[in-house]
Structure 1
């Protein structure tokens, strides 16, 4: 049985690689486009539920543009729908936001009107260097807030901690709102480590099994939940209980998840 989240097929069209494997009216190679809004909901169906989110500058593959909706696949393999107006022709993005958030200003002046608010990991194309700003395709951004795409972070925990206090959002993938698997995906992706969007998929491919005492950077999985250890006893996770990304003793998290009826941890992984 195919997983709709990572299978680029909707009955009308399917990726050329799926010819002979799934039924579709036509098979297409798709074409690249780029997300042009700071944060975009990635929907299961047109006008349907949010599965995940995509950030500005993300390059995706479009398989169908129909009635204002594009059927697309993201770089992490996720498949879904975004509004066609939220896509533009790809640019050669060169930098990403390396802080919790920043602003792109309309002028080379922090007192000028912000043209756009950008979350962590938003990608932009630098056009020119100024004294204190990078001139980008979306406005002037502080040099202190951008990081070259060829300089990923080295420590996923440091990235995860950027998200401390971010409000919980089911299916969220940004510092405007994030869920448990979104936090793991954001933290690993910023370090150049490929990572799916949902915890069950992450559990299948992330790291190696951990035996013995947990340590900093280990990832603990439950059925429907996931968090990352910041030391041997403390977990950082995006939780719907406090409705935020918080630090908690892992023993407390284990006990609460069991009380909620979801059982104990199903896997512990080390990167």
Structure 2
């Protein structure tokens, strides 16, 4: 079997972090495969014409990122734990914000004020951050934060997600290792199950959905062009009718 180019073993590289939400592309100037959120760690291996070949620390995913979107930065300590937040130049919500960040963005907290953490990106409301060493317990609850988020092929953030993106971001927030693409997720996540319950995953060829309950799934899909709830039975029938076949696996994490 040929080596999967998404997970090349490139050996040790220079540690860097994403400065902003940025695309992981299959080649310089190539198509987006996945995304890095601000603060995520990578190992940089090669440089070419303003691009760097990197391996993502979260899952070993390999691709090319714009060099200007990476920098050497301190280790992160917290993640944004709400749908979105703002960073301010001082601990005052009435000042003009410096930037907006979505769920899963990683920040380094350097000081604490009454209602704000001072971070390497500015002052962020304390209620919006959660320590990296305090994971969530239910990935479906995390996934539900993204209801209505627009569909984006290769997306990994609140600004746009695809089916494997919402699976990965929910798993990682709960401390569960998770690869980046749905075929790898089907191969590596969980154990097969016949019945379905809250927290299971159901797979089709090239697609994956969270099971909310026995009758309902939540998934980022091109039919709705958004993260949407859908009745399980009609979803299975619709996906088969559009030519994408029957479910290929049901997995319990």
TM exceeds 0.5? yes
> Where do 4+ consecutive residues of structure 1 move more than 4 Å?
none
Question: How many residue pairs get matched?
Answer: 251
Decide which of 14, 17, 23 is 1:34's aligned counterpart: 17
Q: Distance in 2 between matches of 1:35 and 1:221?
A: 30
Aligned to 1:245: 227
Aligned to 1:4: 5
CA deviations on 1:215-243 (whole Å, 9 max, x unpaired) are 00110000011001111110000011111
Aligned to 1:73: 55
How many Å apart are 1:5 and its aligned residue? 1.0
Q: Distance in 1 between matches of 2:54 and 2:73?
A: 14
Q: Distance in 2 between matches of 1:127 and 1:144?
A: 16
Aligned to 1:177: 160
CA contact (8 A) 1:40 1:53 kept: yes
Aligned to 2:241: 259
Q: Distance in 1 between matches of 2:250 and 2:151?
A: 23
CA contact (8 A) 1:57 1:122 kept: yes
Aligned to 1:156: 139
Q: Distance in 2 between matches of 1:92 and 1:32?
A: 10
CA deviations on 1:99-141 (whole Å, 9 max, x unpaired) are 0010001121111111111010000000110111000000110
TM-score (norm 1): 0.91
* Runs of 5+ consecutive residues of structure 1 not aligned to the other structure: 9-14, 17-28
Aligned to 1:227: 209
CA contact (8 A) 1:59 1:90 kept: no
CA deviations on 1:11-32 (whole Å, 9 max, x unpaired) are xxxx24xxxxxxxxxxxx3111
Decide which of 89, 93, 109 is 1:126's aligned counterpart: 109
Q: Distance in 1 between matches of 2:144 and 2:170?
A: 9
1:43-82 matches, cutoff 5 A:
43-75=25-57, 76-82=59-65
Q: Distance in 2 between matches of 1:251 and 1:171?
A: 26
Higher gyration radius (CA): 1
1:75-224 matches, cutoff 5 A:
75=57, 76-211=59-194, 213-224=195-206
Q: Distance in 1 between matches of 2:13 and 2:127?
A: 37
Q: Distance in 2 between matches of 1:252 and 1:183?
A: 21
CA contact (8 A) 1:107 1:113 kept: no
* Runs of 5+ consecutive residues of structure 2 not aligned to the other structure: none
How many Å apart are 1:6 and its aligned residue? 1.1
Q: CA RMSD in A?
A: 0.8
Q: Distance in 2 between matches of 1:114 and 1:221?
A: 40
